[in-house]
Amino acid sequence: MSLKKTLLAGLALATVSAATAQAETTLKISHYLPAVHGLHTDFIKPWSEQVTECTNGEVQFEIFPAGTQMGHVARQQEQVMAGVVDIAHGLHGIPRGRFPRTSLIDMPFLTDDAAAASYALWELFPEYLAEEYRGLKVLALHAHNGGLLHTNKKKVETMEDMAGLRIRTPSPAVSAMLSHLGADPQGLPPGEVYESLQKGVIDGTVFPWDPVKSFGLNEVLNYHLDLGAYTVSFFYVMNQRSFDKLSAEAQACIDQYSGSDLVAKFGDWWDGWDVPGRQDAMDAGHEITELSDEERAKWREALEPMMAEYLQSVKDAGVDNAEEIYQAMQDKIAEFQAMKAE
């Protein structure tokens, strides 16, 4: 074979190899919930399949949920920042202190609506929250529906009933809320709550209904107080370097299935995810109590100093405009509610 033909053959082989390598790009996604949870079955898995289809197979995904080497709740941010995984879904409050601006959405009695909280987070991201995500491409920010207080041995109906109870907490704002209500907050990953309740290490937990079902917690719970007093926020982010390595077409596909259209789905999703947990509790004969209007007003008043202290702690951590962000969150939630009512 002539030198020219050899070079042409080599070039053709290199071109085919490059195309094949591009077609076999596999991105790793990690999250901390069981593979039976709606976040996995209704959100992350279908999202990955949509992107794969959109890219005509150029981008594939490998998902690592709870129970895998990359499924620890406290490691989601560091894994995606380091490029150990390409995309991660995690809780803003674990580990604590990494997202002080975003976590203002966790303040008590701000909203109990996943759709409203998610809308507020996404609307405020460009102006107020973006600096907390340097090195990351933010695909979605969202929150869950209002959390409940779930206990195993003691029924809680009033603030006085909270005294001394060891309650698992998901975030600094919720920890401060529980402390001011007389409880003893315990920071635990969701996956450790079942055993801690079973062994008596904690007396209860705050969760929306969906993880009660997905973590099997109704087996070790008996009482549920529908607080609607807080929400907790989550991130769905991609390593910016991983995104930048993709073709323009693949990047466009990820953008197409992320952002505002994705964020808008979480309200309906969470409403659906909450149903089985509540139904399981009812089927098991558990007591489900609504916080009375009178008691709710009492809790709100008791928590006013806590909210002022928490805002100050966020300012002390370097967020000079904490009050402005908090007010903007209230405004966006009200804006969403007004749009919903139309």
Q: Are 44 and 31 in contact (CB under 8 A)?
A: yes
Q: Rg of the Cα trace of the chain? A: 22
Exposure on the CB side of residue 172, measured as CA atoms within 13 A: 21
For 261-315, how does the pLDDT look when each residue is reduced to its tens digit (9 = 90+)?
999 999 999 999 999 999 999 999 999 999 989 999 999 999 999 999 999 999 9
What are the tens digits of pLDDT across the range 171-199?
A: 999 999 999 999 999 999 888 999 999 99
* CB-CB contact of 174 with 206 (8 Å): yes
- DSSP letter at 154 equals -
Percent share of the chain, pLDDT over 90: 89
Query: At which residue do the structure tokens 């994705």 appear?
Result: 262
Q: What is the mean pLDDT of the chain?
A: 92
Q: To the nearest 10°, report the CA torsion of 293, 267, 264, 54.
A: 170
Q: Residue type for 106, please?
A: D
Mapped onto helix, strand or coil, the DSSP state of residue 111 is coil
Most confident range (mean pLDDT) of 226-230, 249-253, 294-298 is 249-253
Preceding omega of 46 cis (within 30 degrees of 0) = no
User: Rounded distance, CA 250 to CA 252, Å?
Assistant: 5
Helix (H, G, I), strand (E, B) or coil at 81: helix
Strand-strand pairing, 233-239 and 136-143 = antiparallel
**Structure confidence by residue, pLDDT tens digits, 62-102:** 999 999 999 999 999 999 999 999 999 999 999 989 999 99
pLDDT, residue 264, reads 98
Would you call 284 exposed, middle or buried from its count of C-beta atoms within 10 A (0-12, 13-18, 19+)? exposed
Q: Which helix (H) or strand (E) holds 105?
A: none
Mapped onto helix, strand or coil, the DSSP state of residue 259 is coil
Query: How many other β-carbons are positioned within 10 Å of the β-carbon of residue 268?
Result: 12
Q: How far apart are the first and last CA of the chain?
A: 75
Tell me which residue of 336, 310, 331, 333 sits closest to 322, measured CA to CA: 310
Give the pLDDT band (50/70/90) at residue 240.
Answer: very high
pLDDT at position 342 is: 83
For residues 142-164, average pLDDT: 96
Among 16-30, 257-271, 312-326, name the one with the lowest average pLDDT.
Answer: 16-30
Spatial distance between the Cα atoms of 55 and 251, rounded to a whole number of angstroms: 9
**Residue 318 identity (one-letter amino acid):** G
Predicted local distance difference test score (pLDDT) of residue 21: 45
Residue 3 has pLDDT above 90, yes or no: no
100: amino acid identity, one letter:
P
Quick one: pLDDT band at residue 23, thresholds 50, 70, 90? low
